[in-house]
């Protein structure tokens, strides 16, 4: 079997780091973990570009400051860590005690001093990475329950984190853009929106026509919405309409993502 340049680079890194370093298990979802880690670095960069005072200005999410957003992303890492711990130990540890507890946690987090908010984000993502790297091959397929009540294998946590960090980096509203998201990840986000609609049995009929790509028929089809893939994903994830056109002259209303 041929070895890719990425695999060769990983092996060279392991040789440099030595026997004491920790690595993901062979059964880990390598693609999704790479997306999550790259997205974490992207979110961190956009966060670090903000002054402490700017953290308390509005984000793109209605009713939330950037501090709310940073608290949410930090506490989300802790919640996903609990799911990975559940998969590793077999002891049930839910993401949140309740929706009310989750919301109260974010509201309290949004009042933290800027330094504490930055530390929350940094420390929580390191802890999550440690748990991911300690998870065995079997652990990645252990069943855990999401905050929405779905039973999923622990490998799903990598995708859940991917969505959080990339999309909320844009929500910080300081220059983050869907244009910065890797094209293969954009395609997966588009598919994720469709999966979410299907689980909720939403009745959606339209055709998506990404520039330079193959059309995507949703439901039984309908008006064709055309534009660059980043702009289509922005719209599908509820972040507004930019540079899109519709075959019937009006961009249709669509259900929420999740």
Domain range for 161: 23-176
In a domain, 134, yes or no: yes
* Helix, strand, or coil (residue 128): helix
pLDDT at residue 18 tops 90: no
- Are 46 and 66 within 8 A, CB to CB? no
Residue 169 maps to which CATH number? 1.20.120.450
* Helix, strand, or coil (residue 53): helix
Same domain, 224 and 242: yes
| Structural tokens at position 26 | 């062979």
Residue 242 maps to which CATH number? 3.30.1050.20
The predicted pLDDT at position 258 comes to 87
* Dist. CA 242–CA 212, nearest whole Å: 17
Same domain, 241 and 133: no
Same domain, 40 and 149: yes
The predicted pLDDT at position 229 comes to 98
Please, which pLDDT band fits residue 1 given cuts at 50, 70 and 90?
very low
* Dist. CA 174–CA 80, nearest whole Å: 26
Q: What is the pTM of this model?
A: 0.92
Residue 100 to residues 20, 39, 63, 112: CA-CA distances in angstroms?
42, 28, 17, 19
pLDDT at residue 19 tops 50: yes
The predicted pLDDT at position 22 comes to 77
Please, which pLDDT band fits residue 184 given cuts at 50, 70 and 90?
very high
In a domain, 36, yes or no: yes
Same domain, 39 and 144: yes
Same domain, 189 and 156: no
Per-residue pLDDT reduced to its tens digit, 58-93: 999 999 999 999 999 999 999 999 999 999 999 999
């Amino acid at each position: 079997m041929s070895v890719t340049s990425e695999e060769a680079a990983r092996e060279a890194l392991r040789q440099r780091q030595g026997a004491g370093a920790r690595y993901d298990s062979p059964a880990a979802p390598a693609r999704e973990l790479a997306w999550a880690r790259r997205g974490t670095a992207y979110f961190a960069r956009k966060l670090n570009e903000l002054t402490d005072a700017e953290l308390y200005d509005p984000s793109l999410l209605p009713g939330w400051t950037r501090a709310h957003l940073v608290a949410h992303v930090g506490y989300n890492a802790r919640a996903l860590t609990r799911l990975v711990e559940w998969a590793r130990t077999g002891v049930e540890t839910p993401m949140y005690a309740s929706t009310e507890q989750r919301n109260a946690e974010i509201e309290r987090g949004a009042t933290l001093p800027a330094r504490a908010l930055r530390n929350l984000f940094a420390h929580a993502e390191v802890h999550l990475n440690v748990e991911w790297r300690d998870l065995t091959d079997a652990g990645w397929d252990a069943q855990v329950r999401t905050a929405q009540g779905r039973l999923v294998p622990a490998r799903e946590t990598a995708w859940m984190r991917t969505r959080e960090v990339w999309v909320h980096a844009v929500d910080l509203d300081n220059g983050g853009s869907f244009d910065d998201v890797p094209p293969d990840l954009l395609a997966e986000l588009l598919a994720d929106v469709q999966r979410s609609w299907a689980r909720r049995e939403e009745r959606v009929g339209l055709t998506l026509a990404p520039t330079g790509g193959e059309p995507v028929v949703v439901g039984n089809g309908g008006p064709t919405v055309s534009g660059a893939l980043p702009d289509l994903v922005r719209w599908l994830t509820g972040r507004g309409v930019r540079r899109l056109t519709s075959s019937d002259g009006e961009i249709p209303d669509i259900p929420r993502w999740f």
